[in-house]
């Protein structure tokens, strides 16, 4: 990749992961200039970054470079992207409020280039409204927020706050630099997650969909520059910053929300695992246990995708097919019956390889031409990026 990155490293324990990130970036042929804050140098030495990047490491404040220009100006001129990883709560706060008291923060303030930050901190710092508001400010200014993720934290707690893994950051940076203008004039509507179909106030019919595929699609669509509306069933995921989110529970609610947004959308991707049936009756009080068997009558829910496809004008429509058998036959049937442009198919097994809840999946793309393309197992974000690349092609040639 013939691009230049400024990698800003701030002072958190995840700074050691920034060394691996530097290695991955240079291996992927990015030119990397590392800027360390004074706090970062307490965690990891500049020599590590100088060796891995092959470039001198900068820190401190406003020293003049060889060209006679001061460093923060030179660096922001040559950078295609400024990436701050790890980004502590402190540096996020400084960037949000325009504080420029060292080289890195001055560089970000003086730059007109794209900026991405990878937050890494203790979960309470992450959850603190001060941090959340600062993140929102960054997001509103178009700064890309990568992560954090949930997991074991250096402080001994478990929860949200771990820096995203370097491999994933590399994937996202790559996507950001390559794809960020593709859909700048497009509105993408995405459904995600399961639906819950209640038969009393505390019981419902649902499925194990985690929503990860739909959320990855929303994230990728934002990376591609689209305006994204994400209609989500009940899931345990943080919506990607920048997406307009509509939370729903039932298929009927999901349909109502999708119907409202459909006509103004250019692309509709139906990644939700919508329940095909709902209980025919809803009891407003809890059904009491009686010890004997109980018959639950189910009636069909609206088939959102099929119903909206009848109102299709110029939209690109993409559906998912999760099948336990005859994937090709079922996916092509869906493609035709629901008047879709592309179907993303995957086989579901109950042998531990179920894509529900997993971070990765193995899919096959089915086209209107009846051709298909199977992809190896990969992350859902990568799959999402591939699907959006297909959408890009479909916009050029809808008969693909």
Q: Is 256 exposed, middle or buried (0-12, 13-18, 19+ CB in 10 A)?
A: middle
Using alpha carbons, list the distances in angstroms from residue 252 to 114, 173, 197, 256, 389: 40, 38, 9, 6, 31
Q: Residue 72 is encoded by which pair of tokens?
A: 């923060």
Closest approach of Cβ 241 to ligand C5P, in Å? 24
Paired residues of 345 in beta bridges: 321, 364
Nearer to ligand C5P, 241 or 356 (CB): 356
Contact 229, 189 (CB under 8 A): yes
Question: Residue-wise over 242-251: b if at least 16 C-beta within 10 A, else e?
Answer: bbeebebbbb
Q: What's 55's DSSP letter?
A: S
Closest approach of Cβ 163 to ligand C5P, in Å? 33
Query: In whole angstroms, what is the distance from residue 214 CA to residue 270 CA?
Result: 8
Question: What residues from 294 to 313 belong to the interface with ligand C5P (CB under 6 A)?
Answer: 301-305
Nearer to ligand C5P, 108 or 331 (CB): 331
Q: Helices (H), strands (E): how many in the chain?
A: 14, 22
Query: 99, 155, 306, 375: which is the annotated catalytic residue?
Result: 155
Among 270, 346, 361, 385, interactor with ligand C5P by CB under 6 A: 270
Closest approach of Cβ 273 to ligand C5P, in Å? 7
Nearer to ligand C5P, 303 or 360 (CB): 303
Task: Tell me: does residue 212 bind ligand C5P (CB under 6 A).
Answer: no
Stretch that binds ligand C5P, among 3-11, 103-111, 200-208, 316-324 (CB under 6 A): 316-324
Instruction: Kindly give, in sequence order, each residue whose CB lies less than 8 Å from that of residue 155, ignoring residues fewer than 6 positions away.
Output: 122
Question: What residues from 101 to 140 belong to the interface with ligand C5P (CB under 6 A)?
Answer: none
Closest approach of Cβ 272 to ligand C5P, in Å? 5
Closest approach of Cβ 278 to ligand C5P, in Å? 10
Question: What residues from 332 to 361 belong to the interface with ligand C5P (CB under 6 A)?
Answer: 334
Q: Residue 177 is encoded by which pair of tokens?
A: 């630099």
Please tell me the count of residues contacting ligand C5P according to CB under 6 A: 15
Contact 160, 169 (CB under 8 A): no
Task: Tell me: does residue 165 bind ligand C5P (CB under 6 A).
Answer: no
Query: In whole angstroms, what is the distance from residue 127 CA to residue 151 CA?
Result: 14
**Is residue 118 among the annotated active site residues?**
no
Closest approach of Cβ 388 to ligand C5P, in Å? 16
What is the Cα Rg of the chain in Å? 24
Task: Tell me: does residue 96 bind ligand C5P (CB under 6 A).
Answer: no
Task: Tell me: does residue 328 bind ligand C5P (CB under 6 A).
Answer: no
Nearer to ligand C5P, 39 or 333 (CB): 333
Task: Tell me: does residue 319 bind ligand C5P (CB under 6 A).
Answer: yes
Stretch that binds ligand C5P, among 66-74, 117-125, 241-249, 318-326 (CB under 6 A): 318-326
Closest approach of Cβ 251 to ligand C5P, in Å? 5
Among 40, 153, 321, 363, interactor with ligand C5P by CB under 6 A: 321
Residue 363 CA to its chain's centroid (Å): 18
Task: Tell me: does residue 259 bind ligand C5P (CB under 6 A).
Answer: no
Contact 37, 102 (CB under 8 A): yes
Q: Identify each DSSP E strand in 233-361 by its residue range.
A: 244-247, 267-270, 277-279, 298-300, 316-323, 342-347, 360-361
Residues taking part in catalysis = 155
Residue ranges binding ligand C5P (CB under 6 A): 191, 251, 270, 272, 274, 276, 301-305, 319-321, 334
């Amino acid at each position: 990749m013939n691009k230049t990155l400024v990698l800003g490293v701030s002072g958190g324990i995840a700074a050691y992961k920034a060394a691996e990130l530097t290695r991955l970036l240079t291996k992927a042929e990015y030119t990397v200039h590392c800027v360390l804050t004074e706090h970062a140098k307490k965690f990891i030495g500049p020599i590590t970054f100088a060796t891995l990047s092959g470039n001198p490491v900068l820190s401190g404040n406003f020293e003049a470079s060889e060209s006679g220009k001061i460093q923060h100006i030179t660096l922001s001129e040559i950078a295609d992207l400024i990436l701050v990883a790890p980004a502590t709560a402190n540096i996020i706060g400084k960037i949000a409020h325009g504080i420029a008291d060292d080289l890195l923060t001055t560089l970000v303030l003086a730059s007109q280039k794209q900026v991405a930050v990878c937050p890494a901190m203790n979960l309470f710092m992450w959850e603190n409204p001060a941090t959340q508001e600062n993140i929102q400010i960054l997001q509103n200014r178009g700064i890309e927020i990568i992560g954090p993720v949930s997991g074991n934290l250096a402080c001994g707690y478990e929860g949200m706050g771990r820096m995203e893994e370097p491999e994933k950051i590399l994937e996202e940076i790559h996507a950001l630099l390559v794809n960020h203008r593709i859909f700048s004039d497009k509105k993408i509507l995405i459904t995600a997650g399961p639906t819950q179909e209640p038969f009393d106030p505390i019981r419902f019919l649902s499925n194990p969909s985690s929503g990860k595929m739909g959320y990855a699609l929303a994230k990728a669509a934002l990376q591609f520059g689209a305006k994204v509306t994400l209609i989500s069933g009940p899931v345990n995921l943080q919506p990607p910053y920048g997406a307009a989110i509509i939370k729903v529970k039932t298929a009927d609610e999901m349909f109502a929300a999708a119907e409202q947004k459909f006509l103004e959308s250019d692309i509709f991707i139906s990644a939700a695992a919508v329940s095909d049936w709902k209980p025919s009756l809803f009891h407003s009080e809890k059904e009491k246990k009686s010890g004997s068997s109980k018959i639950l009558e189910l009636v069909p829910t609206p088939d959102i995708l099929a119903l909206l496809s009848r109102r299709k004008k110029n939209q690109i429509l993409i559906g998912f097919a999760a099948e336990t058998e005859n994937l090709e036959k079922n996916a092509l049937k869906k493609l035709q019956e629901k008047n879709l442009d592309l179907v993303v198919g995957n086989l579901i097994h109950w042998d531990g390889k179920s894509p529900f809840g997993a971070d990765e999946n193995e899919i096959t793309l089915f086209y209107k031409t009846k051709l298909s393309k199977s992809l190896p197992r990969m992350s859902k974000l990568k799959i999402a990026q591939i699907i959006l690349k297909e959408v890009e092609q479909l916009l050029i040639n809808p008969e693909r």
